[in-house]
Amino acid sequence: MVIDQQRDPQIPRSAFRAPRLSALAGAPEAYNYAFLDEVSKREIRRALLKAVAIPGYQVPFGAREMPIARGWGSGGLQVTLATLGPGDTLKVIDQGTDAGVNAVNIRRLVERTAPGVATTYSTAEATIIQSRHRFPEESLRADQIMVLQVPLPEPLRMVEPRESVTRQLHAEADYTRVWVHLYEDVITNGEISRASGYPVMVNGRYIMSPSPIPRWDIDKLHQSASLTLLGAGREKRIYAVPPHTNVVPLDFEDYPFRVEDFSGKRCARCGATDTYLDEIIVNGGGRLYACSDTAHCDERVSAERETRNAE
Amino acid sequence: MPPTDATNGQLPRSAFRVPRSPDALLKVEGLAKRYGRGCDRCYELTGPEHGTNECPNCGTLVACAEIGFALAPGQTLGIVGESGSGKSTVLACLYGDTAPAAGRAYLRSFEDGRRDIFDIAPGERRTLRNFQMGIVYQHPHKGLNLRISAGGNVAERLMATEWRRVADIRERAGSLLGRMEVPPSRMDDLPAFFSGGMQQRVQIAKALANGPSLLLLDELTTGLDVSVQAGVLDLIREIQAASGIAMIIVSHDLGVIRLLAERTIVMKDGRIAEAGLTDQILEDPQHPYTQLLVSSANV
């Protein structure tokens, strides 16, 4: 039924306005620090310690019900909430941008429930960076932690549907089926066609799904100065890549791994030629390219403006 | 452990004696496999003399027990017997598809035959399978992944042993398939669309990919029509002649055994009823079951 407000002045306009979620959620003091209760945080931290101790190994954990839907970063959020404390600065990225609705919501939740934690758009200022699908363009430092949201943590799922079997394959490091999968890909498509979540070998032992980051970002995992934590809430798995760990994409000697090719293209805003670019289809069917990492792009634009002003 | 002296009037003692040949490629001793909770009397209450392989005491199925034999390099051993006599279980245990309840086996090409291959870690077992053994199952879907290309199936074996160049893999897989008379144009097709005989050829190519010392053939030609059977059997004979690879052939078809195997084991109710040279067994069967088998097979 559609009520026409214009014809029925008896109904106040406010009745049609949705109540603010903050009003429904109650006072922030009603929640434990960083939303999760202490026992849950302890369990997640234990899983994180184990994950760091066995690079690339998926540690099962009891994923909690979160105020965002499973599949929307609930795993990454739990890792973030169990990791941060007063004095931390959090940056949240959704597909490269800090202004995505999911990133905004996660940042707000932390602001409301974790006093003492600052939030930022700047990669350099952040101590913890939660991200979906992207790494920041800048290299991370040893004092920074990268948290990735993972929809499907099991790299062997594409070749084996049974969890009991994939665990055994991991235990015995029997990765032949993944290689056959890549071989089939080469003979049907002429190259390894995997665009995101490219399977990688971590520390020469476990094959790991790096979450759906583009190939461009795989190299940022290899021998990174920072710690990378990966959380899959729906699939209830946590895994990690410690600092200075080898992360090698699987490839063949005659079909080597290669990243996305942006040669001859540049960002329409900042003019960058060395970043991962998003393709934007504009009116009339033309193509425009812009940096996927918007914070990095903004910094370049403002730096350029400052130099121009100085001149 | 199965009792080693469980003989009676019907069974020749030689059936339980392990041949002591120092140069044997494969030695199997006291192999047994049970399905069920098992009891102390399983082995003494089953076997051909009882006419059953199901323990009347606890209901456990004794798939095979007291299996011992030796296989020389390049030799072919046939295992015959009726359905359910435990032939395929012996192969499954040797290949590592299932864990035996008891027994030891030594493969000369694995650590000089000093270590029992039933008593090694799963990872080592897989390496052993990939490098030393090949198997061809009766049903191609057990040995092949029908949803990946024929070449991919052969390549799986190669990539398990660290082949990492697509060009090399394709060359080796192509030449193996060519030897098996699978046309190179069909290398990238799915085996699901192949005929039964061609699927078996792909399986054989896969089994031979890493140059194993032992090839296990489980009811290789059962279910193929007669002309295709002849082609596949010819192929096996060629491999025997060319590569000197040792084989164990499980079949209920005495014709196949006569054609391919030098020595034969006759199995009944999970035990070895009779063992010896193939010609001897077919011409002068000693055990009543073998006599029945030979007289009804008309070979």
Task: Report the residue of chain B nearest A184, measured CA to CA.
Answer: B152
For residues A218-230, give the mean pLDDT. 97
Please list, residue by residue across B5-15, b when 16 or more beta carbons sit within 10 angstroms of its beta carbon and e when fewer do: ebeeeebeeeb
| Structure confidence by residue, pLDDT tens digits, B38-84 | 898 999 999 988 999 999 999 999 999 999 999 999 999 999 998 88
A92 and A59 in one domain? yes
Report if residue A234 sits inside a domain.
Answer: yes
Residue A184: inside a domain = no
E-assigned strands of B72-155?
A: 76-81, 102-107, 133-136
CA distance A227 to A52: 9
Task: State the catalytic residues of A.
Answer: 56, 267, 270, 291, 297
A180/B159 Cβ within 8 A: yes
Judgement on whether residues A44 and A142 belong to the same structural domain of the protein: yes
Are A269 and A238 in a shared domain? Answer: no
| Residue range(s) defining the domain that contains residue A104 | 25-153+206-247
Q: Are strands B76-81 and B263-268 parallel, antiparallel or unpaired?
A: parallel
Half-sphere exposure in the Cβ direction for A204 (13 Å, CA) = 0
Q: Which residues of B touch A253 (CB under 8 A)?
A: 164-165
Q: Which residue among B126, B166, B169 places its CB closest to the CB of A172?
A: B126
- ipTM of this complex: 0.81
Are A211 and A308 within one domain? no
Shared domain for A86 and A224, answered yes or no, is yes
Domain identity same for A267 and A226: no
Chain A residues contacting B via beta carbons under 8 Å: 168, 172-174, 176-177, 179-180, 183-184, 186-188, 252-255
Say how many C-beta atoms besides its own lie within 10 A of residue A224's C-beta: 22
In this structure, is residue A124 part of a structural domain? Answer: yes
Question: Residue A160 CB: number of other CB atoms within 10 A?
Answer: 16
List the single residue in A172, A176, A188 with the smallest CB-CB distance to B122: A172
Q: Does A235 fall in a domain?
A: yes
Q: Which residues of B touch A (CB under 8 A)?
A: 122-123, 126, 145, 148-149, 151-152, 155-156, 159-160, 164-167, 169-170, 188
Per-residue model confidence as pLDDT tens digits over A147-186: 999 999 999 999 999 999 999 999 999 999 999 999 999 9
Q: Based on the domain organization, do A72 and A113 belong to the same domain?
A: yes
Q: Which residues pair with B105 in a beta bridge?
A: B28
Task: Count contacts between A and B (CB, < 8 Å).
Answer: 44
A228 lies in some domain: yes
Judgement on whether residues A126 and A218 belong to the same structural domain of the protein: yes
Q: Tens digit of pLDDT for each residue in B195-253? A: 988 999 999 999 999 889 999 999 988 878 888 888 889 989 988 888 889 999 999 88
Q: How many domains does chain A have?
A: 2
Q: Is residue A181 part of a domain?
A: no
Which residue of A173, A176, A183 is in closest CB contact with B166?
A: A183
- Establish if A109 belongs to a structural domain: yes
> For residue range B134-193, what is the model confidence (pLDDT) as tens digits?
999 999 999 999 999 999 999 999 999 889 999 999 999 999 999 888 998 999 999 999
- Residue A19 pLDDT greater than 90, yes or no: no
Residues A309 and A230 in one domain: no
Q: Are residues A219 and A309 in the same domain?
A: no
Token pair recorded at residue A311? 């001149």
Q: How far is A159 from chain B (nearest CA, A)?
A: 11
Percentage of residues of chain A with pLDDT beyond 90: 86
Chain A residue with CA closest to B169: the answer is A183
A150: nearest Cα among A61, A219, A278, A244: A61
B102/B29 Cα distance (integer angstroms)? 9
Choose among B123, B151, B165: nearest Cβ to A254: B165
CA dist list (Å): A262 to A96, A190, A273, A291: 17, 20, 8, 11
Same domain? A146 vs A271 = no
Contacts of B145 in chain A (CB under 8 A): 180
In a domain, A307, yes or no: yes
Residue A85 sits in the same domain as residue A220:
yes
Distance CA B18, CA B2 (A): 14
Which CATH number do you get for residue A101?
Answer: 3.40.50.11310
